[in-house]
């Protein structure tokens, strides 16, 4: 009888040991330990999404200095905003040139692209900071988040003003048609992104 109890206790101890070991090994393997903690929602990210009325950009940056992390985040957001403006206005320009039959389409398109770059760079001076937040990380570094925006109407007005001052572009420029295409492209971009 004592032999059966000893074997029973030994088997119970062995089961508990294996049970505890298997629980411990399951706990050690998680997605967080392999890739770090995954952030579901970044501060300011929602404020950095473009829609039919605004071009927007979002960025974040880390530094051991708070003001430097803010400056880096703002600079990255500005770069993203300029890229977004240039790519969207290029789509508008391409469509405008294709829909209008003009003798020197290639020359017009090149001049228009140069003008677009100028306007995009100037537009950055009219940005509005829509959101700005900072946090301190465990290693005492700062992480800053920023979202910026510029009204699409401001960009369109700047384009119209620039074209009005350029006599060569003004000859082939139909303001109403360009504005119509511009607004259609902005609507299309907003729909594609689901805003």
- The string of DSSP codes covering 124-146 is GGG-EEEEEEEEE-TTS-EEEEE
Instruction: Please say if the pLDDT value at position 3 is more than 60.
Output: no
The mean per-residue pLDDT over the stretch 80-90 comes to 87
44 or 22, which is more confident:
44
Q: What are the pLDDT digits (tens) for 103-128?
A: 666 777 777 777 777 887 787 788 99
Instruction: Please say if the pLDDT value at position 4 is more than 60.
Output: no
Whole-structure pTM over 0.85, yes or no? no
Provide the token pair at 142. 């700062």
Report the pLDDT value the prediction gives residue 89, as an integer from 0 to 100: 82
Report the pLDDT value the prediction gives residue 60, as an integer from 0 to 100: 94
Banded pLDDT at 193 (limits 50, 70, 90): low
Percent of all residues in the chain with a pLDDT value above 90, rounded to a whole number: 27
Cα(91)–Cα(71) distance, integer angstroms: 31
- The three-state secondary structure class of 147 is strand
Strand 54-63's sheet: what is its strand order? 54-63, 142-151, 128-136
Report the pLDDT value the prediction gives residue 40, as an integer from 0 to 100: 63
Instruction: Please say if the pLDDT value at position 32 is more than 50.
Output: no
């Amino acid at each position: 009888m004592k032999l059966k109890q000893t074997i029973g206790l030994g088997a119970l101890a062995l089961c508990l040991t294996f049970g505890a070991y298997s629980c411990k090994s399951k706990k050690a393997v998680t997605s967080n330990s392999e890739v770090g903690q995954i952030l579901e929602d970044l501060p300011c990210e929602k404020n950095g999404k473009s829609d039919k009325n605004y071009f927007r950009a979002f960025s974040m940056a880390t530094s051991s200095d708070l003001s430097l992390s803010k400056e880096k985040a703002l600079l990255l957001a500005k770069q993203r905003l300029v890229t977004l403006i240039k790519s969207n206005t290029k789509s508008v320009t391409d469509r405008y040139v294709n829909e209008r039959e003009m003798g020197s389409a290639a020359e017009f398109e090149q001049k228009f692209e140069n003008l677009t770059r100028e306007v995009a760079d100037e537009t950055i001076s009219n940005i509005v900071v829509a959101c700005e937040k900072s946090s301190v990380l465990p290693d005492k570094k700062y992480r800053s988040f920023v979202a910026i925006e510029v009204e699409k109407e401001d960009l369109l007005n700047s384009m119209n003003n620039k074209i009005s001052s350029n006599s060569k572009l003004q000859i082939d420029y139909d303001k109403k048609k360009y504005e119509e295409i511009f607004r259609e492209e902005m609507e299309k971009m907003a729909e594609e992104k689901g805003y």
